[in-house]
Amino acid sequence: MEVINWLREYREIEASLEWKGTFADYLQMVVKNPNLAMHAHARIYAMIKAAGVETKGDLKKYHFFDKELFGLDKTLERLIEEYFHSAAKRLDVRKRILLLMGPVSGGKSTIVSLLKRGIEEFTRSEEGAVYAIDGCPMHEDPLHLLPLSLRSQFEEKYGIRIEGNLCPVCRLRLDEEFKGEVERFPVKRILFSEEQRVGIGTFTPSDPKSQDIADLTGSIDFSSITEYGSESDPRAYRFDGELNKANRGLMEFQEMLKSDEKFLWNLLSLSQEGNFKAGRFALISADELVVAHTNENEYRTFVANKKNEALQSRIIVMQIPYNLRVSDEIKIYEKLISQSDIKNVHIAPHSLWATSVFGVLSRLKPSKKQGMDLVKKMKIYDGEDVEGFNQKDIKELMLEGEEQGEGMSGVDPRYVINRISTALIRDERACINALDILRALKDGLSQHTSIMKEERENLLNLISVARREYDEMAKKEVQKAFVFAYEESAKSLLNNYLDNVEAFCNSTKLMDPITGEELPPDEQLMRSIEEQIGVTENAKKTFREEILIRISMYARKGKPFNYESHERLKEAIEKKLFADLKDIVKITTSVEHPDQEQLKRINNVMDRLINEHGYCPICANQIVKYVGALLNR
């Protein structure tokens, strides 16, 4: 069996990652490769960078998050640069607890989960290799073995800074087992693992009456007291709390702001000084990222409590809003659906797009810009230019949106995917379309007990807006399928328009290819196209000159100019073609008993929708009938 071979290969890889030696051996390694001595925050930053960074304009895109998080590039850049990058350089933010704050199902838990899985994999690479004192319950840095009096010399000579002190167990072993000879102390390579509690910890608060602080800092092993005679003997203490086991890596503090105060006190010293108190020992050093997540309401309550001022000053808050791009929202739903066992249900094209339109619209805030409605704002956010606005306006819109708390409220992806799931399994259908999902969303609002009446009415209105946007998309899709040799028709219309525009701008005439007669530019043809996108009589000259400038620019770069080279011209050409075909589409799609010619046309349209646009026979038939009904209203 092939699986047996996989298992053998797995064991070979695991064996190749093992390393054991002495502190003297490790010193030689760390002097040659100082990255082995990275602190926890630097290691996490190195892990994120190792996955690749792409710069797009003034935005950095970190590929570490690509497969799981969508539409949060700006948020993630701020998180990486303002927190992890700064912390990696040992700036003061390293001494802060990272608190991710945002609405439910916004990606906070996913970020933490990715960091955990990522650091596990990173420590298996040569770049992220981690070495620890063999036998230490806290997997501590071997450099802690170097006496304090020698550390400044070591840093001056090798440029490696050492922070922290030996844990009580290793201190006892050094004195009793190795008689102070640190160079003989055993060192081994460790691999982070949440499952095995190495370098990754997770703390979840429960009933404060029954939960013990030992869950964080470890506890006395009462069965060993009689053997070792004292509670202050390190061998009689279990260093197995989450703060102990997360040393060198990260600890996730789930629902931190809901925890009892006694569980938060340890974080004060840990965040600022890099140590915490446990049992009857001196302060214990710990090098780890503490990351927590919460929603906005819980954070406001936490801030309002004056008792929390000390801890509040040791927290750096990063807002994680909802995604605001329709194209990225689609990826979120595709990811969630792909994780299910529903593989045999076909989702019609544009169904998730219409659903995403609703989701994103619910999160946007109205703009103060004149003429800017939510739909236009949504399109600009998604990279489209709309009439009167373009991508130059996006920064100003986003800044305005941030001030309004845009993305911190609205419909969460979890609710939407629940309703999509309902639509998917309803009546065990082989195919669902946008109308099925929008209907499921609408039905779900009446069952959503936490939604107030006013909010429900607003969401119902947004479902109607998403339906209208889908209607326009559906009409365009079907009309495009009706165009025979669409590309050729568009190209022919474009060339005719450009010939007339060139003659108009140069004050020349055109020659009739059949009669050879000189003719003035066809003003009626040009205006019939320009009017499709609202170019006025006064603006026509400027628009036509802009087209010629674009053609000249493409020519200088050696690039061909086609109908897709100018977004507004493309829209105008499409609308003109569709307008000419509208009556044909209406008649063909609405006839109950089509004649042979109409049936042939419908079959051709169905074939194009199936073969070129991703429809199945069921949803292709549905959209043709639906568009016919829309055009006949």
User: Does residue 599 lie in a domain region?
Assistant: no
339 and 432 both lie in a single domain: yes
Q: Cα–Cα distance between 99 and 315 in angstroms, integer?
A: 7
Q: How confident is the model at residue 449 (pLDDT cuts 50, 70, 90)?
A: low
CATH assignment of the domain containing 29: 3.40.50.300
Q: Cα–Cα distance between 286 and 97 in angstroms, integer?
A: 13
Domain that holds residue 190: 14-319
Q: How confident is the model at residue 427 (pLDDT cuts 50, 70, 90)?
A: low
Residue where a domain stops, chosen among 553, 580, 607 = 580
Q: Are 243 and 109 in contact (CB under 8 A)?
A: no
For residue 281, the model assigns a pLDDT of 87
Picking from 288, 320, 317, 290, the residue whose alpha carbon sits closest to that of residue 302 is: 317
Q: Cα–Cα distance between 201 and 196 in angstroms, integer?
A: 10
Kindly report, residue by residue over 457-476, the tens digit of the pLDDT. 999 999 999 999 999 999 88
User: In what helix (H) or strand (E) does residue 614 lie, and over which residues does it extend?
Assistant: none
Residue 125, CA distances (Å) to 36, 45, 121, 170 in order:
12, 15, 7, 27
User: Does residue 623 lie in a domain region?
Assistant: no
Q: Are 267 and 311 in contact (CB under 8 A)?
A: yes
Q: Give the HSE-up count for residue 585: Cα atoms under 13 Å, Cβ half-sphere.
A: 29
Q: Which residue has the tokens 């609408």?
A: 442
CA angle, corner 13, sides to 7 and 19, nearest 5? 135
534 and 388 both lie in a single domain: no
312 and 340 both lie in a single domain: no
User: Does residue 87 lie in a domain region?
Assistant: yes
User: In what helix (H) or strand (E) does residue 337 lie, and over which residues does it extend?
Assistant: helix 326-338
Of 604 and 362, the one with more pLDDT: 362
| Proportion of the chain above pLDDT 70, given as a percent | 97
Beta bridge partners of 510: 519
Kindly report, residue by residue over 318-342, the tens digit of the pLDDT. 999 999 999 999 999 999 888 877 7
Residue where a domain stops, chosen among 298, 319, 340 = 319
Q: Are 228 and 236 in contact (CB under 8 A)?
A: yes
For residue 246, the model assigns a pLDDT of 95
For residue 439, give every residue at least 6 positions away whose Cβ sits within 8 Å of its Cβ, in sequence order, or none: 423
For residue 152, the model assigns a pLDDT of 94
287 and 417 both lie in a single domain: no
User: Does residue 397 lie in a domain region?
Assistant: yes
pLDDT at 533 over 80: yes
| Proportion of the chain above pLDDT 90, given as a percent | 50
User: Does residue 631 lie in a domain region?
Assistant: no
Beta bridge partners of 59: 56
Kindly report, residue by residue over 285-305, the tens digit of the pLDDT. 999 999 999 888 888 888 888
For residue 87, the model assigns a pLDDT of 94
Strands 289-294 and 97-101: parallel
Picking from 555, 519, 353, the residue whose alpha carbon sits closest to that of residue 437 is: 353
In the structure encoding, which two tokens stand for residue 148, read together?
């304090």
Q: Can you tell me whether residue 324 is helix, strand or coil? A: coil
299 and 368 both lie in a single domain: no
243 and 198 both lie in a single domain: yes
Picking from 43, 45, 37, 41, the residue whose alpha carbon sits closest to that of residue 64 is: 45
306 and 171 both lie in a single domain: yes
Report residue 315: phi and psi, to 5°: -115, 135
Q: What total number of domains does the chain contain? A: 3
DSSP class of residue 566 equals S
User: Does residue 195 lie in a domain region?
Assistant: yes
Torsion of CA 413, 415, 416, 421, to 10 degrees: 120
Q: Which residues of 229-256 are buried (b: 16+ CB within 10 A; e: fewer)?
A: eeeebbebbebbbbbbbbbbbbbbbbeb
Residue 230, CA distances (Å) to 50, 169, 206, 277, 349 in order:
47, 14, 31, 18, 71
Beta bridge partners of 193: 198
Q: Are 71 and 324 in contact (CB under 8 A)?
A: yes
311 and 373 both lie in a single domain: no
Q: Give the HSE-up count for residue 606: Cα atoms under 13 Å, Cβ half-sphere.
A: 16
Is the overall model pTM greater than 0.75, yes or no? yes
Q: Cα–Cα distance between 404 and 522 in angstroms, integer?
A: 50
Torsion of CA 145, 146, 149, 153, to 10 degrees: -160
Q: Cα–Cα distance between 600 and 595 in angstroms, integer?
A: 9
Highest mean pLDDT pick, 43-52, 198-207, 337-346, 439-448: 43-52
**Residue 174: what residue type?**
L
For residue 566, the model assigns a pLDDT of 85
504 and 402 both lie in a single domain: no
437 and 296 both lie in a single domain: no
Question: What angle, 0 to 180 degrees and rounded to 10, lies between the N-to-C axes of helices 434-447 and 413-425?
Answer: 120
Q: What is the mean pLDDT of the chain?
A: 88
Of 373 and 451, the one with more pLDDT: 373
Task: Describe the chain by its helix, strand, coil percentages, rounded to 5.
Answer: 60, 10, 30
In the structure encoding, which two tokens stand for residue 279, read together?
């049992």
User: Does residue 470 lie in a domain region?
Assistant: no
Residue where a domain stops, chosen among 580, 606, 623 = 580
For residue 345, give every residue at least 6 positions away whose Cβ sits within 8 Å of its Cβ, in sequence order, or none: 424, 429, 430, 431, 432
CA angle, corner 519, sides to 513 and 522, nearest 5? 100
For residue 263, give every residue at least 6 positions away whose Cβ sits within 8 Å of its Cβ, in sequence order, or none: 203, 205, 208, 211, 213, 216
Instruction: Give the residue-averaged pLDDT of 245-254.
Output: 93
Q: Which residue has the tokens 């029954």?
A: 210
User: Does residue 389 lie in a domain region?
Assistant: yes
For residue 486, the model assigns a pLDDT of 63
Q: Return left, alpha or beta for 552; rule: phi > 0 is left, psi -120 to 50 is alpha, else beta.
A: alpha
pLDDT at 485 over 60: no
Q: Can you tell me whether residue 457 is helix, strand or coil? A: helix
50 and 194 both lie in a single domain: yes
220 and 170 both lie in a single domain: yes
DSSP class of residue 69 equals -
Helices (H) and strands (E) in the chain, counts: 27, 18
Q: Are 34 and 75 in contact (CB under 8 A)?
A: no
Strands 510-511 and 518-519: antiparallel
In the structure encoding, which two tokens stand for residue 183, read together?
């160079």
Q: Give the HSE-up count for residue 84: Cα atoms under 13 Å, Cβ half-sphere.
A: 20
Kindly report, residue by residue over 79-137, the tens digit of the pLDDT. 999 999 999 999 989 989 999 999 988 899 999 999 999 999 999 999 999 999 999 99
Q: Cα–Cα distance between 598 and 592 in angstroms, integer?
A: 11
Q: Give the HSE-up count for residue 285: Cα atoms under 13 Å, Cβ half-sphere.
A: 22
